[in-house]
């Protein structure tokens, strides 16, 4: 069993190095987060090849994507709550095992229904991993070094999401689509082997698990994401409105069910904290901007510019390369400077980069595209770590499970919103839909930058409390 000595890391010296056990635990977390995030992105690029091999229509093959996203969004908060009760380590390990079993099932799928079912199971495993990864990170890193931990987390999430098209292109160039899922197995087994003895135990909540609230949460989230997807595909109005109504009714019942609960599954009480509410909104805006770019740009590169699938994957690479460069730098800076300022600067750079992409000439050179993609990646990488730091420091440590769940939920809601808006942009503007999508993404990034600046004048009650205990005057976040 893992050692209990890291339950309280707040007394660690600021310059104390990580122990070997902590390094292995963090490596396991990052590997599993990379796998869960990567599988969100690679299937988009491989969708035409998978649909053709399984002899299904493009509209039906979209469920290969939807099943994974629906399972993740619908169960993130219930898994986060379950982690607080059973232990975050247990939920993480169970999620990783389920993810590996589902990856094998995806690789051996012989029809669309079997692949969709396997993707649904894979999404459940990924949801369990993503719902507790931020909490486990904060259990490994002491508060004064949390920025470094979330910087590493942001680095891996950003890179995995960004390099998805490149990885998919390389795998499809060398083999068939089942290998996209089979490659998860050796990496996942390795992560499981080092996670089992290395992950820290976390303090458990004293209350029980509310199954009815969990069911209402699943219905609310799944109906909302389904409605967004159907609206983007211009489905019949009765289907879209019906799904929205189901989400609304289930959401209201959930709020009524959890009224007065000390740690509600949907942490509505935390939104009374301005720092938490702003960080959630900013995260949704930023990932919506990234989703608008990453769904629309492949269509632009291949359909408008005539680039090949492999070329498209490599043209997307500068974004991920700059995320990799900037995320750990921003993570370290967020330990010394206001996350509101750093996040605002990062999103302002992302906004400028997306505007420059929208203004690309008719026949751009590859270098022109790469420079603009690099600007976007630099901005996104500089933003993400400070925002995660602001998220985790805006709530009490005993509510870190709900905070971790909301981090992943806001990311997925933003990505799903961005993807839905891309479909709407193409239906409105035709072949110019990618330009409209990039312009809309720039607007989201700009709004997020302004909101991040508001955090400079917002009091953070959790930080103020910790500083008062230490005998220091409260500071603005």
User: With bands split at pLDDT 50, 70 and 90, how would you rate the model's confidence at 57?
Assistant: low
Residue environment code for 8-32, b if the CB has 16+ CB neighbours within 10 A, otherwise e: ebeebeeeeebeebbebbbbbbbbb
Distance CA 306, CA 279 (A): 39
Share of the chain above pLDDT 90, in %: 12
- Alpha-carbon span 189 to 37, nearest angstrom: 17
Instruction: Tell me the pLDDT of the chain averaged across its residues.
Output: 78
Highest-confidence range of 47-61, 261-275, 373-387, by mean pLDDT?
A: 373-387
- pLDDT tens digits for 136-177? 877 777 666 666 666 677 667 767 766 777 777 788 788 788
Taking residues 75-103, report their average pLDDT: 86
Tell me which residue of 451, 423, 466 sits closest to 144, measured CA to CA. 466
C-alpha triplet 415, 32, 106: angle, nearest 5°: 75
Q: Is the pLDDT of residue 328 over 90?
A: no
Chain-centroid distance of CA 68 in Å reads 13
What number is the average pLDDT over the span 220-236?
76
Q: How confident is the model at residue 97 (pLDDT cuts 50, 70, 90)?
A: very high
Is the pLDDT at 62 greater than 70, yes or no?
A: no
pLDDT at residue 121, rounded to an integer:
93
Predicted local confidence at residue 169, as pLDDT: 76
pLDDT at res. 162: 65
* pLDDT at residue 350 is higher than 90: yes
What is the rounded distance in angstroms from the CA atom of residue 186 to the CA atom of residue 454?
Answer: 45
Domain topology for 20-210+258-469? Growth Hormone; Chain: A; (1.20.1250)
pLDDT, residue 404, reads 67
What is the 3 state secondary structure string of the chain?
A: CCCCCCCCCCCCCCCCCCCHHHHHHHHHHHHHHHHHHHHHHHHHHHHHHHHHHCCCCHHHHCHHHHHHHHHHHHHHHHHHHHHHHHCHHHHHHHHHHHHHHHHHHHHCCCCHHHHHHHHHHHHHHHHHHHHHHHHHHHHHCCHHHHHHHHHHHHHHHHHHHHHHHHHHHHHHHHCCCHHHHHCHHHHHHHHHHHHCCCCCCCCCCCCCCCHHHHHHHHHHHHHHHHHHHHHHCCCCHHHHHHHHHHHHHHHHHHHHHCCCCCCCCCCHHHHHCHHHHHHHHHHHHHHHHHHHHHHHHHHHHHHHCCCCHHHHHHHCHHHHHHHHHHHHHHHHHCCCCCHHHHHHHHHHHHHHHHHHHHCCCCCCCHHHHHHHHHHHHHHHHHHHHHHHHHHHHCCCHHHHHHHHHHHHHHHHHHHHHHHHHHHHHHHHHHHHHHHHHHHHHHHHHHHHHHHHHHHHHCCCHHHHHHHHHCCCCCCCC
Q: Is the pLDDT of residue 467 over 50?
A: no
pLDDT digits (tens, 9 = 90+) for 178-194: 888 888 899 889 988 88
Mean pLDDT across 234-259: 84
pLDDT at residue 146 in the model: 64
What are residue 207's phi and psi, to 5 degrees?
-90, 165
The full set of domain ranges for the chain reads 20-210+258-469, 211-257
Can you tell me the distance from the alpha carbon of 377 to that of 325, in angstroms, rounded to the nearest whole number?
Answer: 9
- What are the tens digits of pLDDT across the range 3-56? 433 444 444 444 556 677 777 878 888 888 888 878 777 776 677 678 778 877
Name the band, by pLDDT with cuts 50, 70 and 90, for residue 474: very low
Q: How confident is the model at residue 263 (pLDDT cuts 50, 70, 90)?
A: low
pLDDT, tens digit (0-9, with 9 covering 90-100), for 395-445: 776 666 667 677 777 887 887 788 778 777 877 877 778 888 899 999 999
Q: Are 127 and 76 in contact (CB under 8 A)?
A: yes
Q: Say which residue, 360 or 393, is predicted with more confidence.
A: 360
Q: pLDDT-derived band of residue 348, with 50, 70 and 90 as boundaries?
A: very high
Please state the pTM of the whole predicted model.
0.71
* Rg of the chain on CA atoms, in Å: 21
Q: Which residue has the higher pLDDT, 223 or 351?
A: 351
Confidence at residue 387, expressed as pLDDT on a 0 to 100 scale:
82
């Amino acid at each position: 069993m893992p050692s209990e000595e890291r339950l309280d890391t707040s007394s660690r010296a600021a310059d104390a190095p990580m122990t070997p056990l902590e390094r292995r635990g963090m490596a396991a977390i990052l590997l599993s987060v990379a796998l869960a995030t990567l599988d969100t992105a690679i299937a988009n690029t491989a969708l035409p090849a998978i649909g053709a091999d399984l002899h299904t229509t493009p509209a039906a093959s979209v469920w290969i994507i939807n099943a994974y996203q629906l399972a993740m969004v619908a169960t993130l908060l219930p898994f986060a709550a379950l982690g607080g009760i059973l232990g975050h380590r247990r939920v993480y390990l169970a999620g990783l095992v389920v993810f590996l079993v589902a990856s094998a099932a995806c690789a051996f799928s012989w029809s669309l229904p079997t692949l969709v079912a396997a993707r649904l199971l894979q999404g459940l495993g990924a949801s369990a991993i993503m719902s507790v990864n931020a909490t486990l990170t904060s259990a490994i890193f002491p508060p004064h070094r949390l920025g470094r931990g979330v910087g590493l987390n942001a680095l891996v999430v950003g890179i995995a999401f960004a390099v998805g098209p490149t990885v998919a292109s390389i795998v499809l160039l060398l083999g068939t689509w089942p290998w996209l899922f089979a490659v998860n197995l050796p990496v996942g087994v390795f992560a499981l082997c080092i996670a089992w003895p290395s992950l820290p135990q976390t303090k458990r909540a004293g209350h029980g698990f509310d199954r009815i609230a969990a069911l209402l949460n699943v219905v609310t989230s799944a109906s909302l994401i389904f409605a967004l997807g159907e609206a983007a595909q211009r489905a019949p109005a009765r289907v879209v409105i019906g799904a929205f109504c189901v989400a609304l009714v289930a959401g209201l019942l959930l709020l009524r069910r959890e009224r007065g609960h000390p740690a509600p599954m949907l942490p509505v009480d935390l939104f009374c904290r301005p720092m938490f509410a702003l960080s959630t909104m900013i995260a949704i805006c930023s990932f919506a901007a990234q989703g608008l770019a990453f769904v629309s740009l492949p269509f632009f590169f291949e359909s408008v510019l005539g680039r090949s699938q492999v070329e498209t994957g490599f043209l997307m690479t500068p974004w991920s390369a700059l995320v990799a460069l900037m995320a750990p730098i921003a993570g370290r800076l967020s330990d010394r400077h206001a996350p509101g300022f750093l996040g605002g600067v990062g999103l302002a750079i992302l906004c400028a980069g997306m505007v420059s992409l929208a203004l690309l000439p008719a026949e751009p050179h590859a270098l022109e595209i790469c420079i603009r993609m690099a600007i976007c990646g630099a901005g996104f990488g500089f933003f993400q770590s400070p925002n995660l730091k602001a998220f985790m420091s805006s709530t009490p440590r005993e509510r870190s499970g709900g905070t971790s769940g909301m981090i992943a939920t806001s990311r997925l809601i933003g990505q799903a919103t961005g993807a839905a808006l891309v479909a709407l942009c193409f239906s409105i503007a035709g072949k110019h839909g990618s330009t409209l999508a990039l312009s809309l993404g720039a607007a989201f990034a700009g709004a997020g930058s302004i909101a991040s600046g508001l955090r400079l004048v917002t009091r953070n009650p959790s930080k103020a409390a910790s500083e008062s205990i230490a005998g220091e005057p409260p500071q603005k976040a």
